[in-house]
């Protein structure tokens, strides 16, 4: 949506007229924005029909269901917000409206969850926030691209209200005990009984499909009915539902967006209340994130005080009958990191939320082992025999070489403390920011450009038909590439399951009245400290000047201290560029999308 150009007129102006031959990284950034946009529009033209329906066979379920269908476009709103084409945003909006309609028509007989459609009032009827969050990723970033859309504001307020008991059909939250009542929640409220395999898997549908889950992989056609019993066995032990789970902290993203769009204090108050309750519980549990909180608000309340139990918990070691082997599926971090990151923004930088996450990592690293020269961390706690056993020894188990580096990186970028940097260890991006890896920008931009080419080729070579594709099939060659651009232009880290923009800088185009880098402008964040950011801006156009508005933080949460503002206007003469070091106070302002 176009913003009034006058909105930026009062911002302090920096004029850059120093000639700078266009660096390779700048040309690569512009090319990546162009090619990602063109490839995404081409993808949409092939795989969306005139109504915006994704050309596939819809099914309910978490293996290949509604969340996967719309997750195909998970980063398109972010691409637009960084400077991608208007066509990318329009394609996503078309896909979103088509998705609501397409999955609104879905009917199931073996589960009540989609017996009258997968959505009620445009929100999933009931699901867990591992999957709900995956499906809502692009929507969480839509405010960065289209903040003045009345429809977006209405939906975001309604969706956030589902967890604030503003909808009588959805009493998901207990404000007394400060718990979301189930791992299964949504527009039809919480599931307060055991789930069934059919709730997770949905109905079988006739036909032969390219199945990506299980042992099939991306290969030939498989008759779904023939493997349906195996799919059910994937979820045999996924039945415990009652009580709160850290995955539910993902709901705070709705409140963050509602607050940033409207400024209404109730959204911040609720998110900080809920995240604060989780913080208290984690701290009281010695720093280990409980994976079940009872309806009474007590740690492990649905399992006799066993904090590590529950679906997707520390002790969720199960036999997966689809792949015929034991599987460890602990998601302790998947909600806590995004939730506490949202609380950090809404609290204007309360370091206590970082400290709690740091303690969890310290607890894991205290258990590390070195095996054949490799550092290993445990990913399970409880009875090593698995989730079904309750009387065995409580211990750490399942040591693997997953060092949770992406979570350590989040902690460091939020704290900017030396002790947190040390824990991250070797990282190519951080090395570049520390002046030790000069080739990094060109390398990752070329990597993403090559990924665009490969995804376009896979799409061009794809001869599947809608009646053989399920919801997850097309995710594998989504051509929108945002990771390199987010790191290099904004100083942003987009780690797994985090659907809020934690960034040092963001850009707007006053000439076109929209978010993102203007045409011909490139930006490179070269250094970040606790109180400054260094960025090079360049106009690769040697004929025309360009103007860009630079914002401190993804939501204006930071402040440029020398200018005492969260936004600066920069006018770049033709072919001009300059490195700027800007003093900054982080988390000085309320997060806003206005």
Tokens of 301: 């309340």
What gap in Å lies between CA 157 and CA 576, rounded to an integer?
43
Q: Which residues make Cβ contacts (< 8 Å) with residue 88, sequence separation at least 6?
A: 36, 37, 40, 41, 76, 79, 80, 480
Q: Locate tokens 């987009």: which residue?
A: 494
Q: What is the mean pLDDT of the segment spanning 121-130?
A: 98
SS3 55: coil
What's the pLDDT at 388? 87
Could you tell me which of 214, 189, 171, 179 has the C-alpha nearest to residue 127?
189
The tens digit of pLDDT for each residue in 370-408 reads: 999 999 999 999 999 999 898 888 999 999 999 999 999
C-alpha dihedral sign at 505, 523, 493, 410:
negative
| Coil, strand or helix at 535 | strand
CA distance 580 to 294: 52
Per-residue pLDDT tens digits for 135-151: 999 999 999 999 999 99
CA angle 559/562/563 to nearest 5° reads: 70
For the question of whether the overall pTM of this predicted structure is more than 0.95, the answer is yes
CB 477 within 8 A of CB 44: no
Residue 164: other Cβ atoms inside 10 A: 23
Would you tell me the crossing angle of helices 332-346 and 265-284 to the nearest 10 degrees?
Answer: 130
pLDDT band at 1 (very low <50, low <70, confident <90, very high): very low
Q: How far is CA 467 from the centre of its chain?
A: 30
Give the residue-averaged pLDDT of 332-340.
97
| Backbone phi and psi for residue 92, each to the nearest 5 degrees, phi listed first | -65, -45
513 φ/ψ angles, rounded to the nearest 5 degrees: 60, 45
Encoded tokens for 576: 């001009």
Q: Rounded to the nearest 5°, which phi and psi values hold at 119?
A: -125, 145
Q: What is the reported pLDDT for 145?
A: 97
> Furthest-apart CA pair in the chain: how many Å?
75
* Cα gap 95→240, rounded to integer Å: 34
Looking at residue 276, what is its pLDDT?
A: 98
What is the full DSSP assignment across 286-302? TT---S-B-TTS-BTTT
Instruction: Residue 465: name the closest of 50, 57, 45, 40 by CA.
Output: 57
pLDDT of 9 > 70? The answer is no
Does residue 6 have a pLDDT over 90?
A: no
- Count of other CB atoms within 10 angstroms of residue 320: 18
* Average pLDDT of span 107-122: 98
Please, what is the angle between helix 351-365 and helix 405-415, to 10°? 150
Average pLDDT over all residues of the chain: 96
479-504 pLDDT, tens digit each = 999 999 999 999 999 987 889 999 99
Question: Tell me: the pLDDT tens digits for 410-422?
Answer: 999 999 999 999 9
Q: How far apart are CA 258 and CA 159, in angstroms?
A: 9
> Helices marked H in 463-551 — which ranges?
483-485
Backbone phi and psi for residue 460, each to the nearest 5 degrees, phi listed first: -60, -35
Determine the Cα–Cα distance for residues 296 and 293; give it in Å rounded to an integer. Answer: 8
Q: Is the pLDDT of residue 117 over 90?
A: yes
Round to whole Å and give the CA distance between 491 and 418.
18
Written as six digits, the tokens of 504 are 């040092």
Q: Residues of the chain with pLDDT > 70: what percent?
A: 97
Domain with CATH 1.50.10 in the chain: 48-481
User: Residue 213 has what pLDDT?
Assistant: 77
Question: Encoding tokens for residue 193?
Answer: 């009984």
Question: Please, where in the chain does CATH 2.60.40 lie?
Answer: 1-22+504-594
What's the pLDDT score for residue 497? 83
Report the C-alpha gap between 589 and 571 in whole angstroms.
25
Name the CA radius of gyration of the chain, rounded.
Answer: 24
Nearest to 284 by CA among 380, 359, 336: 359
CATH architecture of 48-481: Alpha/alpha barrel (1.50)
CA-CA-CA-CA torsion sign (412, 416, 421, 422): negative
Q: Is the backbone of residue 157 left (phi > 0), alpha (psi -120 to 50) or beta?
A: alpha
Looking at residue 2, what is its pLDDT? 41
Angle between helices 150-161 and 252-262 (to 10 degrees): 140
Q: Which two tokens stand for residue 346?
A: 């809404």
> Can you tell me the distance from the alpha carbon of 71 to that of 79, in angstroms, rounded to the nearest whole number?
14
- H/E/C letters for each residue in 539-578? ECCCCCCEEEEEEECCCCCCEECCCCECEEEEEECCCEEE
**Residues in Cβ contact with 433 at an 8 Å cutoff, skipping those fewer than 6 apart:** 525, 526, 527, 528
Which class is 1-22+504-594 in CATH? mainly beta
pLDDT at position 466 over 70: yes
Give the closest residue to 398 by CA, choosing from 383, 381, 378: 378
Residue with tokens 């750490």: 396
The string of pLDDT tens digits covering residues 354-377 is: 999 999 999 999 999 999 999 999
Q: What is the pLDDT of residue 547?
A: 98
Residue 498 is predicted with a pLDDT of: 87
């Amino acid at each position: 949506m176009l913003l009034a150009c006058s909105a930026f007129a009062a911002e302090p102006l920096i004029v850059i007229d120093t000639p700078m031959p266009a660096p390779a990284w700048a040309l690569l950034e512009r090319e990546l924005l162009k090619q990602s946009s063109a490839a995404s529009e081409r993808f949409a033209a092939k795989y969306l029909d005139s109504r915006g329906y994704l050309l596939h066979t819809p099914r309910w379920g978490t293996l290949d269901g509604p969340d996967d269908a719309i997750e195909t476009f998970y980063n398109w709103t972010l691409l637009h917000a960084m400077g991608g084409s208007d066509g990318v945003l329009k394609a996503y909006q078309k896909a979103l409206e088509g998705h609501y309609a397409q999955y609104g028509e879905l009917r199931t007989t073996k589960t009540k969850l989609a017996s009258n459609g997968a959505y009620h009032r445009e929100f999933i009827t009931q699901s867990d926030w591992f999957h709900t969050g995956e499906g809502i990723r692009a929507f969480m970033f839509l405010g960065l691209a289209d903040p003045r859309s009345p429809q977006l504001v209405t939906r975001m307020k309604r969706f956030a209200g589902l967890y604030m008991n503003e909808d009588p059909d959805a009493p998901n939250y207990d404000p007394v005990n400060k718990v979301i009542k189930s791992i299964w929640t949504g527009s039809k409220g919480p599931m307060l009984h055991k789930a069934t395999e059919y709730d997770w898997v949905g109905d079988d549908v006739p036909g032969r499909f390219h199945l990506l889950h299980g042992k099939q992989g991306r290969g030939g056609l498989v008759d779904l009915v023939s493997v349906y019993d195996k799919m059910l066995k994937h979820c045999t032990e996924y039945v415990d539902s009652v009580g709160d789970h850290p995955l539910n902290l993902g709901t705070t993203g709705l409140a963050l967006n509602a607050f940033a769009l409207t400024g209404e204090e109730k959204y911040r108050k609720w998110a900080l209340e809920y995240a604060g309750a989780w913080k208290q519980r984690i701290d009281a549990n010695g720093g280990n994130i409980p994976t079940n909180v009872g309806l009474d608000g007590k740690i492990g309340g649905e399992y006799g005080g066993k904090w590590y139990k529950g679906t997707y918990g520390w002790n969720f070691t199960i036999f997966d009958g689809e792949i015929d082997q034991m599987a460890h599926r602990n998601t302790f971090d998947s909600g806590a990191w995004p939730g506490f990151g949202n609380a950090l923004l809404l609290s204007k930088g309360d370091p206590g939320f970082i400290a709690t996450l740091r303690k969890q990592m310290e607890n894991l690293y205290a258990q590390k082992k070195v095996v054949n020269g490799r550092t290993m961390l445990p990913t399970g706690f409880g009875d090593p025999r698995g989730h079904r056993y309750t009387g065995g020894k409580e211990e750490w188990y399942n040591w693997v070489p997953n060092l949770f580096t992406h979570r350590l990186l989040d902690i460091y970028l939020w704290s900017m403390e030396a002790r947190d940097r040390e824990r991250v260890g070797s990282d190519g991006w951080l090395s570049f920011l520390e002046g030790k890896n000069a080739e990094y920008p060109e390398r990752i931009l070329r990597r993403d450009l090559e990924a665009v080419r490969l995804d376009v080729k896979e799409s061009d070579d794809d001869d599947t038909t809608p009646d053989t594709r399920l919801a997850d099939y097309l995710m594998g060659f989504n051509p929108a590439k945002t990771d390199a651009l987010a790191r290099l232009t904004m100083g942003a880290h987009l780690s797994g399951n985090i659907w809020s923009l934690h960034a040092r800088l963001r850009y707007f185009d006053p000439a076109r009245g929209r978010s993102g880098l203007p045409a011909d402008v490139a930006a490179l964040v070269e250094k970040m400290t606790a109180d400054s950011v260094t960025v090079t801006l360049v106009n690769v156009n040697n004929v025309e000047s360009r103007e860009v508005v630079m914002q401190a933080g993804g939501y204006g949460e930071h402040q440029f201290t020398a200018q005492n503002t969260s936004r600066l206007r920069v006018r770049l003469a033709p072919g001009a560029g300059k490195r700027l070091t800007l003093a900054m106070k982080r988390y000085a302002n309320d997060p806003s999308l206005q």
